[in-house]
Structure 1
């Protein structure tokens, strides 16, 4: 993906992809506008990804309320990846923050980022924390504490060990990161993993030990979630480890990620009640690494599947 240079003076572009979230979109937009002017050198772009609800009317109302404060891009529906890629092409900033339409920036996040980027001018990926918020009001704060120095270990910590958590809204990437590849538009689930993987593996990274976003948790049906994951399936593994994203230094991690992805899909299929898919993903994992049979929690589910118990 080609990326343009910056001649605008904008340091940070916040991009909000929006699809049928009219009810909560104002919360996301206003969380940015409330702090953008005081932080300075920040722009806000909202990408309406072909919404069929009241998103267009909501955005018109907000642009009337906040004239000239943010820009709206409209496109036919293509998924979050295509919306983010349009945002990358249209953004003026050197750094980009992707905020989901149902989430919000934490107060003071933009000023904290401005200070962090000034102190760490070489960083290309800023990894911040977030506050998870549940519908019942429960909150849990997650703040990063450990960043391996070696690229291979950073990638292992992110992809395999889950010691390095990256979340949209809580991470900022320099546009150089996208020279290796944008968000893969053929995936409607886990589409950020290839981009985060290439960022942690190939570029200077830094931690900001404070929450940058409030991530709102909500219940989508298991079948709906799994339908997107199943459509991408194991092809995600090849996308993550495509040579343009990860060179030969990192390919040794691919088999372990294949097993992990297979087991993740197995669990999702099991919970969604898709017996055939669950069995297929479990076979894939075992074929790649027989030690899967020693993983008790997965084996218990597999035994129940093959015996037809409680599925």
Structure 2
């Protein structure tokens, strides 16, 4: 068996066909293709199997759940039976005959442990760039030094063929997602000579935006993890000075991205690592970055709206986020908000996500600074609840859960505790003496929401009025206990401020674009029409009464009216815990239900339209932000987009009437120019106002920190 192809893949159903098809010209060399499917939930494996059968390729799917490309490649190395291994990413393509060129070069050079070919880098909006390997010699120490110093083009994954014997004791680092390939290639270069192919063998797709996002999400932790792996290269005889330069260069790259995002305090910390290397620290670029940080920090400090920093300036701050449902893995609006806030909080210190309900999914956050815990256990005996009486807006909380919570808080010792809404009111008083800063995160102003629901039901009965008044009293009591409160919008700020007896500080912490790291920052291409047109997507917690009502209106009134003009129109309902009333809607023509979706990307990428006919609800709608971030036009009731300040008829189409919502959707679908214009305007508006940097600033402000704080 000549060559084993190893393809690590996670949610690559959209690209894997092109990747596998590119291998056909070198089929005679390939003994096996190992697709290491790392926790995909978009049918990557089935798509790959279908493609392999179509092209006559010897594919084997290896299913794992490891969470890193390096770990997946290591699985492939361990299972490979070929004399050589070819690593190919699941979104890149081998150029026809490229593998044969690499294979021939390796055969001609028996002392070589790997052969390297040229590659073509493709980046959106830029001309293709040819990278030809040159400068390699028989001096292995010189090769490793020059590679680390960027004096040689980096080896793209898919542009090299490795002798299996050469990598027998060499593996990819598994704890990092950046520069793990550098560590692997340098270790190989330190031990073996190189055969070079000047012709291009690979077309690879480079996403600069996603790379930048990896740097800014947890910069200090990212740098330290990479630095640790680089230090280990010295065990293979790699020159210490070259390793130190590489660490300085990585720190400078991270600093550059932080400066672009105006995170000057974090950038200053990275520049300390740059200056640790004497030559790099005195370079013109390092001096330039330091000056930009100084000027930027001074400008931010003197902004009129700048807030005072806390007494914990410069120190780690520990945060505990308490929710009813587990916040990880995030799927619905509430846990998407909770988890996004936790990610921001993890930049300033460790975070513990605690839920009342059991954690049934065994997966853990990729960020090691975020840990999870549950206060109840699946299947345990029911215990008495806290308090002898509670109103309908409160959740039942077992006494055993309170005991566990108190133990967790004492052990974790958080500086701030963020509690999810008044549904967990019974825990506020027990937490008060244990929390340095107690924050109530009001996803909705529940008293206003209760009033909306009663108006929607057209009921004026004494019990329903009493229930709404009870929620309002509960909110007033909660505001008297906590140090701060968070709301999602300006409208909710005004509603809650009117209830605050002690004028507790209220911060607007809006919902951000969910799973923004998985969404193309550039406007995605419009969805194909092969599955029907239009495909209308409605996303939400399908056990939540306002969403159930919206789904029923969509399926029963709006979709049939649209199908009269557009007969291939389909409605896709997607969300957690659908009630029987929602499941029953699938009996209607053109209605599909996706229960508890693990990955929204396939659904969003196939949607042409999102119609959101909410008649009740609070906060701001994450489903609106996610759709618009994907470039999906939104047609909605005014309430559905309340607090987002979107421009009507340009960024969103609005009406309270089901019939008018349907007619607007039809008119938009029949006018492709207008549809393209609304897609572009909506996409731009959401990324600028609700993108990761805007949310980061809001969350830090909600903790009482300015943007140059701890």
CA change 1:144–1:64 in 2 (3 A) is closer
Asked if residue 17 in structure 1 is aligned to residue 8 in structure 2, the reply is yes
2:293 alignment partner in structure 1: 305
Q: Distance in 2 between matches of 1:20 and 1:102?
A: 10
CA contact (8 A) 1:36 1:110 kept: no
Q: Confirm whether residue 281 of structure 1 aligns to residue 270 of structure 2.
A: yes
Deviation at 1:89, TM superposition (A): 1.0
1:268 aligns with 2:257: yes
- With 213-222 and 167-176 compared, the bigger mean Cα shift is at 213-222
1:220 alignment counterpart: 209
TM-score normalised per structure 2: 0.39
Aligned pair in 2 of structure 1 residues 137, 96: CA closer, same or farther (>3 Å)? same
Alignment partner, residue 45 of structure 2: 56
Residue 83 (structure 2) aligns with: 94
What SS does the corresponding residue of 2:22 show, helix, strand or coil? helix
User: CA RMSD, aligned part only?
Assistant: 2.5
The corresponding residue for 2:494 is: none
Q: Aligned match of 1:31 in 22, 38, 53?
A: 22
Correspondence for 1:119? 108
228, 231, 252: which one aligns with 1:238: 228
CA positional deviation for 1:81 = 0.8
Give the superposition deviation at 1:301. 2.3
Q: Is the 8 A contact 1:265 1:278 kept in 2?
A: yes
- How far apart are residue 200 of structure 1 and its match? 1.1
1:108 aligns with 2:108: no
Q: 1:101 to 1:204 in 2, by over 3 A?
A: same
The aligned counterpart of 1:134 is 123
Match of 1:82 among 47, 65, 71: 71
Q: Deviations over 1:283-309 (max 9, x none)?
A: 1221342x4453223322221212226
Q: Residues 260 and 126 (structure 1 numbering): CA distance in 2 closer, same or farther, change over 3 Å?
A: same
1:16 counterpart SS class? strand
Question: What is the rounded CA distance, in whole Å, between the counterparts of 1:228 and 1:191 in structure 2?
Answer: 17
User: Hey, what's the Cα distance between the residues in 1 that align with 2:208 and 2:3?
Assistant: 31
Q: Distance in 2 between matches of 1:114 and 1:239?
A: 30
Moved more, 109-118 or 226-235: 226-235
Conserved? CA contact 1:181–1:244, under 8 Å:
no
In the alignment, the residues of structure 2 paired with residue 68 and residue 209 of structure 1 have an alpha-carbon distance, to the nearest angstrom, of 27
How far did 1:137 drift? 7.9
Q: Matches of 1:138 and 1:104 in 2, distance apart? A: 17
Question: Larger relative contact order (C-alpha < 8 A, sep ≥ 6)?
Answer: 1
- Between the aligned partners of 2:242 and 2:122, the Cα distance in structure 1 is 33
Within-5 A mapping of 1:149-188? 149-188=138-177
8 Å CA contact retained: 1:129, 1:170: yes
Q: Contact 2:121 / 2:206 at 8 angstroms: preserved in 1? A: yes
1:281 Cα deviation after fit: 1.1
Provide the rounded CA distance (Å) in 1 between the counterparts of 2:140 and 2:74.
Answer: 25
TM-score (norm 1): 0.86
- Shift, 1:244, TM fit: 7.5
Instruction: Name the CA shift for 1:230/1:150 in 2 (closer, same or farther; >3 Å).
Output: same
Q: What CA distance in whole angstroms lies between the structure 2 residues aligned with 1:49 and 1:172?
A: 23
Deviation sequence 1:117-166 (CA, Å, 0-9, x none)? 22122210212110122345832222223213312211121001432431
CA shift, 1:41, in A, is 4.9
CA distance in structure 2 between the partners assigned to 1:143 and 1:20 by the alignment: 30
Tell me, in whole angstroms, the C-alpha distance in 2 between the residues paired with 1:96 and 1:47: 14
SS in 2 for 1:129: strand
Find 1:46's aligned residue among 11, 14, 35: 35
For 2:30 and 2:48, the matched residues in 1 are separated by 22
**Count of residues paired in the alignment:** 298
Partner Cα distance (1:44, 1:228) in 2: 35
- Give yes or no for contact 1:189–1:229 (8 Å, CA) kept in 2: no
Match of 1:193 among 175, 182, 188: 182
1:108 CA displacement: 0.7
The correspondence of residues 205-216 of structure 1 with structure 2, limited to 5 A, is: 205-216=194-205
Given that 1:240 and 1:246 are in contact with CA atoms closer than 8 Å, whether structure 2 keeps it comes out as no
Question: Rg bigger for which structure?
Answer: 2
Determine if the alignment matches structure 1 residue 250 to structure 2 residue 239.
yes
Per-residue CA deviations over 1:217-249 (Å, capped at 9, x if unaligned) read 2353432454376543133233233267522x6
Could you say if the C-alpha distance between residues 94 and 226 of structure 1 is closer, same or farther in structure 2, counting changes exceeding 3 Å? Answer: farther
